[in-house]
């Protein structure tokens, strides 16, 4: 009897595994089709300086609504694209599209803003990653210092030396590097010191309670201080409320990104956002001394 139920469990487990494999294969074949049909788009989320409330840059975030699957979150399809290698051409498309958008923004008056682009470790591991990035910059005409590449440290486990070499080459070319999702997974202060990064992006998990809980506040202000001592700037991700902005700006966070400023926007809504933000911005930041 025990053997029977044991066998039953194994069967269920196998069936679940198969379902998972089938689902991922379907996702991958739809993603390949979407790539061929140019069905992916980018949205852009503003990053705003706490010092003066001005827009300093945008992060490009990939979007996909499939005709059969509906909207698919990047958290679901990026891992599948990484496992299959589709991320390599897809990532180059993202980079080129975002660079073109940044050049366009400059022509329309938002000259100094930076464009942040998420990079997968699979892309970084390509032997020709650095020349490909430089080639896209020269083809699109975006000055290197206006591009920021976002990487996560969990992705670099195992190939750290190679990754550092490439990041150094990109830095040498003038490109900025940001460490994304800091505070989740494998995060370690050692990475903050050893990786050649310009910017530290504090994960939303740190930010959620920052206006409510003293312990969350001590974490953020201590990490910010360390980052600043190491000449890294600090971006807070997932800021949704004015009270978080106020707390973060008092704690020395340099940039704010989140729904409080704006959701990620389709390219054709950036100009309207910039105009509307200029109207909304002057009241910010409201320093409320009871918050910290
Ligand atoms: P990420 O790079 O950490 O991006 C931040 C995520 O938080 C985005 O989710 C963004 O839409 C979301 N977000 C921003 N502000 C708020 C807020 O105030 N509240 C909440 N609840 N969420 C907020 P998204 O666009 O679904 O992307 C998820 C992840 O997928 C990204 O995390 C990134 O790791 C990956 N990703 C997105 N686009 C690309 C891409 O072009 N290439 C690669 N390799 N990865 C990408
Ligand atoms: Mg990111
Ligand atoms: Mg992040
Ligand atoms: Mg993330």
Strand positions, DSSP E, 68-168? 70-71, 114-118, 147-151
> What's the CA-to-centroid distance between 284 and ligand 1, angstroms?
25
Binding site membership of 74 for ligand 1 (Cβ less than 6 Å): yes
So what's the ipTM on this one?
0.99
pLDDT tens digits, residue range 103-158? Answer: 999 888 888 899 999 999 999 999 999 999 999 999 999 999 999 999 987 767 66
pLDDT at res. 284: 55
d(CA 244, CA 103): 32
Share of the chain above pLDDT 70, in %: 90
Pocket perturbation via mutation, ligand 1, pick of 48, 76, 118, 262 by most ligand atoms within 8 A of CB? 118
Average pLDDT over residues 170-178: 98
Strand positions, DSSP E, 64-146? 65-66, 70-71, 114-118
CA 142 to chain centre: 19
Binding site membership of 61 for ligand 1 (Cβ less than 6 Å): yes
Q: Name the packing angle between helices 2-36 and 74-84 (round to 10°).
A: 90
- Measured from the alpha carbon of residue 61, the closest ligand is 1
> What's the CA-to-centroid distance between 136 and ligand 2, angstroms?
20
Pocket perturbation via mutation, ligand 1, pick of 74, 85, 92 by most ligand atoms within 8 A of CB? 74
Q: What is the largest CA-CA distance in the chain?
A: 74
pLDDT at residue 286 above 90? Answer: no
pTM of the model: 0.92
- Ligand 1 atom closest to the Cα of residue 120 is 44
pLDDT at residue 220 above 50? Answer: yes
Burial-class residue 208 by CB neighbours within 10 Å (0-12, 13-18, 19+): middle
> What's the CA-to-centroid distance between 200 and ligand 2, angstroms?
11
> What's the CA-to-centroid distance between 118 and ligand 3, angstroms?
9
């Amino acid at each position: 009897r025990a053997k029977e139920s044991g066998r039953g469990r194994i069967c269920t487990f196998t069936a679940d595994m198969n379902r998972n494999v089938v689902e991922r294969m379907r996702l991958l074949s739809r993603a390949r089709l979407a790539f061929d049909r140019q069905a992916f788009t980018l949205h852009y989320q503003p990053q705003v300086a706490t010092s003066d409330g001005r827009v300093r840059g945008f992060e490009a975030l990939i979007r996909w609504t499939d005709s059969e699957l509906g909207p698919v979150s990047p958290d679901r399809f990026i891992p599948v694209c990484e496992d299959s290698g589709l991320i390599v051409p897809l990532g180059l498309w993202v980079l080129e599209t975002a660079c073109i958008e940044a050049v366009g923004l400059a022509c329309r008056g938002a000259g100094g803003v930076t464009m942040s682009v998420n990079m997968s470790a699979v892309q970084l591991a390509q032997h020709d990653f650095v020349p490909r990035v430089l080639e896209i910059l020269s083809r699109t005409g975006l000055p290197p210092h206006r591009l920021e590449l976002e990487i996560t440290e969990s992705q670099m486990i195992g190939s750290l030396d190679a990754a550092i070499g490439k990041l150094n080459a990109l830095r040498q070319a003038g490109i900025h590097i940001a460490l994304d999702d800091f505070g989740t997974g494998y995060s370690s202060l050692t990475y903050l010191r050893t990786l050649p990064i310009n910017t530290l992006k504090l994960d939303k998990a740190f930010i959620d309670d920052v206006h409510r809980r003293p312990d969350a506040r001590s974490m953020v202000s201590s990490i910010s201080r360390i980052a600043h001592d190491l000449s890294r700037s600090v971006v807070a991700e997932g800021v949704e409320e004015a009270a978080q902005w106020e707390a973060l700006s008092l704690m020395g966070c340099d940039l704010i990104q989140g729904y409080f400023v704006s959701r990620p926007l389709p390219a054709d809504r950036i100009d309207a956002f910039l105009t509307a933000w200029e109207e909304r911005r002057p009241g910010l930041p409201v320093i409320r001394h009871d918050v910290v």
